[in-house]
């Protein structure tokens, strides 16, 4: 892969929290090397309010964020995708979308913060925990020297990144 900007699509079911967070994080850490997108197999139609609140607190511009179907990325005029990462959580028995085509794919499962049940403050902390898990993976991914890795090595690395878990909460 040549030295250029890579298109990365993050997929989840509802496209209201995790994939939106990942889209924002890769925009921050990608520094012109990666362009992020997000979509869902069954989009909710709106970004979850707590996702917007968290991203605003982290100084992201949320004005253009929206929940959308992954169908938008299978059209002839869609940007060609280099990477597609599913961020749904298989452990929660969610149905993860499968992306057809040629992009390199990996599963970066994270718990669904929208499904979390707790007080408002506990929910805020859980949203932040999920964001931090995705943000950490994206920092690692964007630091890879993609042009220096062969296809198989790159594929192995992006799959390994999806297995990285955050340290257990001590509080």
Indicate whether 31 belongs to any domain: yes
**CB burial readout 78-111, b (16+ within 10 A) else e:** eeebbbbbbbbbeeeebebbebeeebbbbbbbbb
Report pLDDT digits (tens) over 63-74: 999 999 988 888
Residue 24 annotated in active site = no
Report pLDDT digits (tens) over 10-52: 999 899 999 999 999 999 999 889 999 999 988 999 999 999 9
Residue 88, domain CATH? 3.40.50.2300
Indicate whether 167 belongs to any domain: no
Report pLDDT digits (tens) over 113-165: 999 999 999 999 999 999 999 999 999 999 998 888 888 899 999 999 999 88
Per-residue pLDDT at 167: 66
In the set 8, 9, 11, 12, the catalytic residue is: 12
Per-residue pLDDT at 2: 56
Residue 88 annotated in active site = yes
Indicate whether 66 belongs to any domain: yes
User: In the 8-state DSSP scheme, what is residue 118?
Assistant: S
Indicate whether 10 belongs to any domain: yes
Q: Is the pLDDT of residue 110 over 50?
A: yes
In the set 58, 96, 144, 149, the catalytic residue is: 96
Domain count, the chain: 1
Indicate whether 166 belongs to any domain: no
Task: Identify which of 38, 57, 26 has the alpha carbon closest to the alpha carbon of residue 143.
Answer: 26
Claim: this prediction has a pTM higher than 0.85: yes
């Amino acid at each position: 892969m040549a030295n250029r900007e890579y298109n990365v699509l993050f997929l989840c079911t509802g496209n209201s929290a995790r994939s939106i967070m990942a889209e924002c994080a890769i925009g921050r850490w990608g520094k012109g090397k990666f362009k992020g997108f997000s979509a869902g197999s069954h989009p909710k139609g709106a970004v979850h309010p707590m996702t917007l609140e968290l991203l605003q607190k982290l100084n992201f511009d949320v004005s253009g964020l929206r929940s959308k179907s992954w169908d938008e990325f299978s059209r002839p005029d869609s940007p060609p995708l280099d990477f597609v990462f599913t961020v749904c959580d298989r452990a929660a028995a969610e149905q993860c979308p499968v992306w057809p085509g040629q992009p390199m794919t990996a599963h970066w499962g994270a718990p669904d913060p929208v499904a979390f049940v707790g007080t408002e403050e506990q929910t805020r902390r859980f949203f932040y925990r999920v964001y931090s898990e995705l943000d950490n993976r994206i920092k690692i991914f964007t630091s890879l020297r993609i042009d220096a890795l062969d296809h198989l090595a790159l594929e192995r690395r992006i799959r390994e990144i999806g297995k990285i878990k955050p340290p257990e909460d001590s509080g």
